[in-house]
A and B are shown apart, each in its own frame.
Chain A
Amino acid sequence: MKKYILIVALLATSYSHAQELFVYTEPASNMPTKSIGLRLSNTFMNDRVDGNINYHLLPEIMWGVNKNLMLHAEGFISNRGKTLVSEGFALYGKYRFYSKDEVHSHFRLAAFGRISTNNSDIHQDEIDVNAHNSGYQAGIIATQLLHKTALSSSLSFVHAMDNGSINKFPSTQTNKAVNYTLSFGQLLLPKEYTSYNQTNINFMVEMLGQHLVNSNKSYLDFAPSLQFIIHSQTRVDIGYRKQLYSTMVRTAPDGFMLRVEHLLFNVFK
């Protein structure tokens, strides 16, 4: 544990450039107004129970409504039921309510909310309304971008509900949780920005935690990732999420994520 904290501390202080487009979390900044983002996230998680790979596919469309508001709609598809089936969808909104911009730096605050429906079986203590549970999530994000470091943190409340009429939320489990995240980002390449056609390579390190309300159950994950930005318009993210500790039942906490995202500018006039 100490080793990981040391690594994160080193990352926070030694990097010479920063990037704020995090992989496992959302920054407080929004998409450009009138633009549309298309995102396809794939997760390949190692199932500790049967040794299989749990594959989740999350197609997502994002809309920059205005400079402060962005909306997402996403679908949940997974092979946990042995065949690839659609399990539900979610709506996500983020409102940026504070900005302090300087050249090459900013401090921003945003509030966000997600409401999701999911019909899959409930098989773990962990609450995840972004692919596993029906319910809602609400929280705030703070992002500080400095000349050398980007740091983002979020705090949110999650409330899980029944997964449809068949998969009721187990009465023996806690259905409320607090999520907390801490993210760092760094630009590896290019050394000098001269053109939008240069491929950018970013390195991210994120800490993702959850505590179930009124219980002693919690987990903390460590998620390093590499991000490639092509033509300043298409993102390819490759990440690995690794559980550092957990006192709750989790079916498949460790695994890879592969995401492709494309931004369409000025779609609406």
Chain B
Amino acid sequence: MKNIILASCLLIAASANAQFKQANLQASGLTCSMCSKAIYKALTAVNFVEKVDSDIKNSSYIISFKQGMTVDFDALKNAVTNAGFSVAQLKVTANFSNAKVQNDAHILVQGKTLHFLNTPSQTLNGDKTFTVVDKNFASAKDHKKYSQFTSMKCYQTGFMENCCTKKEGTTGTRVYHVTI
């Protein structure tokens, strides 16, 4: 038990301090307002979503997150695909506090493993927006474009692999590939 508490403390200490605030999601595969409303309804039903504002013309949704709730990017993607459509782009805005980012390396942010690609090493402070470039979160073209910036296998699988540096999670941990 003590080991678990110790491990949890270490994990929290290693995790960069940030709060996911909102996301801008663009959906693909639709033009009709009934289809757009299906996505809107699916997003509003996600438990950590506070509010959704729709831009019907551009098939875009500004999603505000509830404070203190764990945000799950996969749940947003699943809401869109279950409504019958796809995610074309997901941009997430988070409030960072002294988060040290390195290119082609993993970082733990609010318990989530992020893998920054094509991003210069920097320390993030304040509201910053990153784009998720994983499969099913971006167009196939964009996903392929960012594959040149890493040789790690996790980019293809979305999960921590044996070749990955294990500091920010164990094999099988969900990894989101992002860029600023």
Which A residues form the contact surface with B (CB < 8 A)?
17-21, 29-35, 64, 66-67, 96, 99, 101-106, 108, 145, 147, 150, 187, 192-196, 198, 200, 229, 232-233, 235, 263, 265-266
Contacts and interface: CB of A to CB of B under 8 A. Distances in A.
- Interface of chain A, helix or strand or loop or mixed? loop
B82 A67 contact: yes
B31 A187 contact: yes
Contacts of B172: none
A104 B81 contact: no
Contact of A229 (B26, B28, B32, B42): B32
B42 A32 contact: yes
A19 B32 contact: yes
B38 to A, nearest CB: 4
Interface string B68-89: 0000000000000111111010
B31 A67 contact: no
List the 9 closest A-B pairs by CB distance, nearest first. A101-B29, A193-B56, A101-B86, A265-B41, A33-B82, A232-B37, A106-B29, A32-B38, A101-B28
B33 A232 contact: yes
Contact of A66 (B28, B29, B30, B82): B82
Interface of B: 26-38, 40-42, 45, 54, 56-59, 81-86, 88, 139
Nearest to A266: B45
A184 to B, nearest CB: 14
Nearest to B85: A101
